[in-house]
Amino acid sequence: MTDARRNTRQNHLELAQKVLNIAFERGMKAGDHLPEQGFSAACGVSRTPIRSAFKLLEENGVLSWKEEEGYFLAIQTREEQAEAVRRLEDLEDSLARRILSDRAERRIGEVQSASALVRRYKVSRNTVLNALKILSRDDIVTQLPGRSWAFQPILDSPNSVEDSVAFRLTMEPQAILAPRFTMDFKRAGLLRSQMEDILKLRNGSITCSGFRAIDTEFHSFIAECSGNRFIRGSLLTHHRLRRTTQKDASIPDFRLRQSLEEHLEILESLERNQFDLAADQMVLHLRKSRVRRPEAANRGIPPMKRGVQS
């Protein structure tokens, strides 16, 4: 994750984790008071986000609140701290998945306010905002002027999947042909081992979800090796969108195996510095993903040329 991405992801959850770390670094015990001003200065933020972080921690049993006195630490040990952090992360990841699922099933509209989501899911505003931040990290939602959030197009229809493949046909071969493409041989070896292990499974036992995970990892690997920050950023964003919003289709086992074998062929060409061949193999691989029957993949396709195919 880049520094810019990390900065944009700064939210109440991260601030709450920072508050916890500071509290334990200072040797605070259960029952100790957490002064707003002191933690505001220590975290480098105003009192408003500190109050939001305190509120989030209170809602999850980490702090307690006393009227006219403020917030007090309610946990004692490092183990309790680690468990509290895991609980916060699980809560927001779970809500993010629920929101995404409801959007994919058209149970909620393209534009939503935080208040509407609070009412729908019966959780706190901070929890909703943190879930939206998680979704915005993957470019699934974008904050609009004011207090509304807009969902970006997701891969939930044949047309959107076709547009996805067309985009990748333009970008992924060029990622391989980028002048500063640098092969990560260690990671390539790990990917190869994982794919070979999957191919050893008995016929019919490869799941679509398992295949999609390794498929996304392979194509993200190509993007990260490109050496071009714009190609890398565009493709990684798109692959996150694929991973989180594309529904699992019913794909025959033999096609899943063929796709993995195509991945391995591309890796082999890259390891031999045969970048033109690898780019052509990527074009054919992506074109085959448009059809169920591999024997139909080459019909009507002109001889491949180096670089982008229209």
Which pLDDT band, with edges at 50, 70 and 90, does 127 fall under?
confident
Is 188 found in the same domain as 289? yes
Q: Which pLDDT score, from 0 to 100, does residue 93 have?
A: 65
Which residues does residue 65 pair with via DSSP β-bridges, in sequence order?
Answer: 71
Is 198 found in the same domain as 100? no
Is 199 found in the same domain as 85? no
Read off the tokens for 296.
């139909």
Which residue, 67, 86, 107, sits at the end of a domain? 107
Identify whether 291 is part of a domain: yes
Please enumerate in sequence order all residues whose Cβ is within 8 A of that of 187, keeping only pairs 6 or more positions apart, or say none: 221
How many percent of the chain have pLDDT more than 90? 36
Which residues does residue 66 pair with via DSSP β-bridges, in sequence order?
Answer: 70
Read off the tokens for 298.
């080459």
Is 287 found in the same domain as 164? yes
Is 189 found in the same domain as 252? yes
Which residue, 44, 78, 107, sits at the end of a domain? 107
Instruction: Please tell me the total count of domains within the chain.
Output: 2
Identify whether 171 is part of a domain: yes
Is 281 found in the same domain as 205? yes
Q: Which pLDDT score, from 0 to 100, does residue 300 have?
A: 35
Which pLDDT band, with edges at 50, 70 and 90, does 113 fall under?
very high
Which pLDDT band, with edges at 50, 70 and 90, does 298 fall under?
very low
CA distance 159 to 111: 21
Identify whether 232 is part of a domain: yes
Rounded mean pLDDT of 278-282?
97
Q: Which pLDDT score, from 0 to 100, does residue 309 have?
A: 35
pLDDT over threshold 50, residue 299: no
Q: Which pLDDT score, from 0 to 100, does residue 16 have?
A: 82
Please enumerate in sequence order all residues whose Cβ is within 8 A of that of 231, keeping only pairs 6 or more positions apart, or say none: 171, 174, 175, 178, 223
CA distance 112 to 99: 10
Tell me the DSSP string of 179-210.
TT----HHHHHHHHHHHHHHHTSPTT---HHH
Mean residue pLDDT of the chain comes to: 81
Helices (H) and strands (E) in the chain, counts: 13, 6
Alpha carbons within 13 A on the beta-carbon side of 298: 5
Identify whether 76 is part of a domain: yes
Identify whether 11 is part of a domain: yes
Q: What is the CA radius of gyration of the chain?
A: 24
Q: What is the CATH number of the domain that holds 97?
A: 1.10.10.10
Please enumerate in sequence order all residues whose Cβ is within 8 A of that of 198, keeping only pairs 6 or more positions apart, or say none: 206, 210, 211, 214, 260
Identify whether 150 is part of a domain: no
Q: Which pLDDT score, from 0 to 100, does residue 101 have?
A: 79
CA distance 139 to 135: 6
Its domain, for residue 224, covers: 158-296
Q: What is the CATH number of the domain that holds 182?
A: 1.20.120.530
pLDDT over threshold 80, residue 224: yes
Which residue, 107, 124, 148, sits at the end of a domain? 107
- Write out pLDDT tens, residues 5-35: 333 233 566 788 788 888 887 888 889 999 9
Which pLDDT band, with edges at 50, 70 and 90, does 303 fall under?
very low
Q: Which pLDDT score, from 0 to 100, does residue 279 have?
A: 97
Identify whether 136 is part of a domain: no
Which residues does residue 72 pair with via DSSP β-bridges, in sequence order?
Answer: 33, 64
- Write out pLDDT tens, residues 49-104: 898 889 888 877 889 999 889 999 988 776 776 677 666 666 666 788 788 878 87
Identify whether 146 is part of a domain: no
